[in-house]
Amino acid sequence: MDRLFGTDGVRGVVGSELNPLFIARLAYAIGSYFGEGSRLLVGSDYRYGNNAIKRIVEGSLLLAGLKVYDAGYAPTPAIQYVVKTQGFDGGVMITASHNPPEYSGIKVIGPTGIEIDRDEERVVEEIYWTERFRFASWRSIADRVEEYPYVLDMYVDAVVREVDSERISRRGFKVLVDPANNVGSLTTPRILKRLGAKPIVINGNLDASPARYPEPTPDTLVETARLVKVYGCDIGVAHDGDADRAIFIDSEGRIQWGDRSAPLLIKHLVLNRGERGRVFTGVSSSTIVEDVLKPLGVEVVWLKVGSVDIAHAMRRAGDALCGFEENGGFMYPRHQFVRDGGMSTALFLELLAWENKSASTLFDELPRLYVLKTKYRMSRDQALRVVEFVKEEFKGERMITIDGVKVIHNDYWVLVRPSGTEPLLRVMIEAKSEELARIILERVEKCVKQVVPQ
C-alpha cells in the first residue's frame, strides 16, 4: 500500500492531488479509525482551498458517526492544546505548514494533542486503501457541526500562565512579529500584549495570495529582518503558516535558525527555571547543541527528522526537558509535547528578562559556524542511493544513520537525507569556514552525480 502520510501529515496540491474524492475518502478513513461517537475538533490555517477542504472533512466525519466541532481559523498548537486539555478524542488540522501556496494538507491529532504516530497512520492508510470503512446508521449521524469558538482564548491563556509575566512585563520589550499573513496573527500579538510587550506586526492580515512564501527562511525574511533594526526592536519573530514554528531575529537584524535559539532556551530552562531532563532533536539540528549542553550535564537524543517522531519519543521517554528542530520548532512538554511558536516566543522573552542581555549578545555567546543548505530534485529511491554513496565517501567518520546519514567531524558536520514531503534530496552542512563547507559540498555533489548525472 502506498503511503499517504509524509513527515508531517498528508499533503498535496489543492484540486489535483487534494481533490474532493481523495479528501472525502481520507476523512472517512479518519472517522472510521476514531470510531462512531468520537468527539473531534477541526481547525485550519488560511490557505486557498482550506474552507472547501474543511467542509468535505467535516461532512465526511459526520457521516461516519462522529461528533464534530469547528474551531475556525487557529494555529496548529492551539488546536492541539485544546484537544489535549478539553477531553476531545482527537482533532484534524487543515494546513500545509510551510509548503508553497498551491499545497494544503491534513494533520490527524490524537487525544494527547500529538499527531497520531506512524503505526496509527498506517492503520488509517489501511482503512483508506482496503475501504474497510465503518458506516454509521442514519439515526446516529449528527445533523450539524458544532461551533467551538473558545480555542484562541484557551491557548493564549495557557501560554501566558506558563511564563513569569511580571518579570517580562517590567522590561517593556518591543517585538516585531511576522505571522506570514496567517493564523499566527490571531494569537502571537495577543500573547505579547498580555506579557506587557509592544508588538509591531507586519504581514498580519489573513491573506492566502501566493505573493508571500510561508516558510520563514533567510531568503524570505530579508525585509522582516531589516525592520527589526529600523523599529529598534528587542527581538523579531517569524512564523510559518500554522504558527507552530518560530524563527527569531536578534536586535542586530540577524536571522537565527532554530538550532541556535534552542540552546539558549534550553540553558534558560536549566539555569534560570531549574528544570532537568534530556533534550530530543532531529539529525538536521546543529551539533552546537551538544557543545553547549554537555557542560550542563544535559544529554542530547538524536532522532529522525520530523516533529511527530520527536513528540512521541519525548512522551514515551518520560524525562524530556524539551525537543526542538532546526527549522524553528520548539517543544516544551510542561506546556505540551508538540512544537509551538507562541510558547517559544513567550519563553524567549522570559529568557531575555532573566539574563538582562540583548538577544544579539546572547547569540554571540554561541559558537559560530558557516551554514550551507541546498537541495537536489530527485526521486526518493535516487536520494537513498546517494545516501549510500555518501556513507562510502565519508567512511571512518562518526555517523548517525537513522534518517539518511549525518557525518560528524570536529570541524564540520553534513546531513544528506531524502525529503519526507517532496521529491528532493536535502543537504545541510555546518563548518568552521566557508571554504571547508564548499569542499564538503563538492564531495557530496560527487556522490549526487553518480546517481543523477548532470
CB environment 406-425: b (16+ within 10 A), e (fewer):
bbbeeebbbbbbbbbbbebb
User: Which residue's entry shows cell 537524543?
Assistant: 301
CA atoms within a 13 Å half-sphere pointing along the CA-CB vector of 55: 5
Cβ within 8 Å of residue 446, ≥6 positions away: 393
Q: Are 115 and 83 in contact (CB under 8 A)?
A: no
Query: How far is 334 from 422, CA to CA, in rounded Å?
Result: 33
Q: Which of 32, 38, 60, 97 is catalytic?
A: 97
Verify whether residue 97 is a known catalytic residue: yes
Instruction: State the cell numbers at 135.
Output: 458506516
Cβ within 8 Å of residue 284, ≥6 positions away: 305, 325, 326, 327, 415, 417, 426, 428
**Beta bridge mates, 372:** 429
| Phi, psi of 213, rounded to the nearest 5 degrees | -70, 130
- Please provide the DSSP assignment of 286-331 as one string: -THHHHHHGGGT--EEEE-S-HHHHHHHHHHHS-EEEEE-TTSBEE
Q: Cα 54–89–126 angle (5° rounding)?
A: 70
Q: Is the dihedral of CA 362, 364, 369, 374 positive or negative?
A: positive
Cβ within 8 Å of residue 374, ≥6 positions away: 427, 441
Cβ within 8 Å of residue 320, ≥6 positions away: 277, 278, 279, 280, 313, 314, 333, 337
Q: Cα 188–217–165 angle (5° rounding)?
A: 25
User: Which residue's entry shows cell 449528527?
Assistant: 142
Cβ within 8 Å of residue 252, ≥6 positions away: 229, 360
Amino acid at 350: E
Q: Which residues are known catalytic residues? A: 97
